[in-house]
Structure 1
Amino acid sequence: MKELIIATRGSKLALWQSEHIKALLEAAHDDLKVSLKTMTTKGDKILDTPLAKIGGKGLFTKELEDAMLRKEAHIAVHSLKDVPVVFPDGLKLAVITARADVRDAMLSEKYTSLENLPQGAIVGTTSLRRRMQLLKIRPDLIIKNLRGNVNTRLRKLKEGEFDAIILASAGIKRLGLEKEVKYFAPIDQSIMIPASGQAALGIEIVDEEAVEKIVSVLNDETAIIETAIEREFVAKLEGGCQVPIGINATLHGDVIDVSCLIGLPDGKEILKESIQIQKENYKGVGTALAQKMIDAGARDILKRAEDMALNVIFED
């Protein structure tokens, strides 16, 4: 294969991710040309409605997947946290790259940290996971929905619509936007557990041996182990972005620390677990943790969480 085509969204972050993978692949294969096929997804077009209400993060991948199935592209590069755990026939997740900073971050023009936000501060996020954890530690905060690409969200912050907004640290750093706001404060994982797959890139491919051989050089063992646990957990709970789920696995040498939680978007009812395991025992841990949550009532909580999200929160 002499040319590899990447299907990509046209947002700045999506283009950064695709250009990043393009550069890595061309560096790894002297005779390979990589080109980008840019397109707009349904998730890019609908900017006034929360994702959970219109079908979830898969809205950002369907058009890219359709292009690959039509043989118009060979691969697509996604933020792994946006990648569903089930793929259409003919496609597969072939690569998980090394992770960047997995933490969420608070951005503000006025306040240095979550702790320093005043009573009743307005915080922007459309993530139910972030909403849940914010209200758990600061029930006085007013959480308002925040859609749009990263630059749109920063503009809304600068225009004074919010006292602070919450975004993934990795995306901000990849675009070099830390200096665009007065205060950029990553949030410790003990305070806010990240989403499954956060800060890793996932490369989805047409299920062809030649394509997989080309991209497989970008796989990262640590990220594969960590995100296997996280994605197992979400798959067992059958949870998408319509429900608040946090799960993070971090490998330190031969030991993996795992923290997870599910609950209601208002933060008033939460199930949380933290364990430490040996690296060699990582397979099945995500599923076992999810089953423990299910035994403690997770399915009922997540059903109520979804009803709360769709019928109350997203009616704003």
Structure 2
Amino acid sequence: MPPPKHAEGTHRMTVPVLETENLVKIYGRGETRFDALKGINLEIGKGESLAIVGKSGSGKSTLMHLLALLDGPTHGVVALEGRPTNDLGAKELNELRNSAFGFVFQQFFLTPGQTVLENVTLPLKIAGVPAAERKRRGLEALDQLEMADKAQNKATDLSGGQKQRVVIARALINNPSVIFADEPTGNLDSATSRVVEDILFGLNREKGITLVIVTHDTDLARRCQRQIYLVDGQIVPNPEEEAGDVVDTPARPEARETADRGGVTVKEPETGAIVTLSQADLAELARGAQRPPHTGKHAAADPHTPEQPGATA
């Protein structure tokens, strides 16, 4: 008997752990306006490892901050386990972020004067967990990272690799469903970087923790199950060039042939460059303006209409 029609797509019935619809982030107004994200539609599955890849200024860290509920979008929706988060108050957002997410950053963000154990158990202290329980869970997390013997050391006494292990232990302390890692090996040598990467991917593989890594490192990105590439706040196809920078800016309009006569000369708001748009360019822009925005199941959660439709990943 042949398989049911569309059987291969049944995995999509699972609710994503994180989802965005028409996600837009704008900073500033008027001449200082900067569109950091331009309508991102993205689903991240439970237990997935995902790399968000792009050059500096591409919007990758902005996207991570919105996914992690560290910032709010100008337009669009971020949903956690199918639940839109737009209408949550500050207290509820803080509690949700503290319980659901762990964070691993390039700069470590450890308090120098506190012990390793105190740094690791900070999320539990914020959550109001009693001291004895904090200590038990903190030592357990440090033991997973082979750092229990450093529990009473000051953070300043640790090497870079040891500090990142402490950061990972802190990220694990609340048994998060998602770990966000922003350039997690940026301050480490290659050998230590590999150890830290192995720890993160081991947690993803063995504990089913969703791993979202923001990076410009192609080797690190390839270790993830999936990669998305950002250029100028939009998701683009996987670039073919692998040498040099991870992503290259697409050719500007002036680099294309403008054989059609009657073009229009405009000034790009971001760079100030003078660009000549052909009649074909103008026709494509007009068609794009007429396309309806992406409408998803969470659209009602955002009363605003995004300024432009975005790519889907």
* TM score, norm. by length of structure 2: 0.21
Higher relative contact order (CA 8 A, sep 6+): 2
Larger Rg: 2
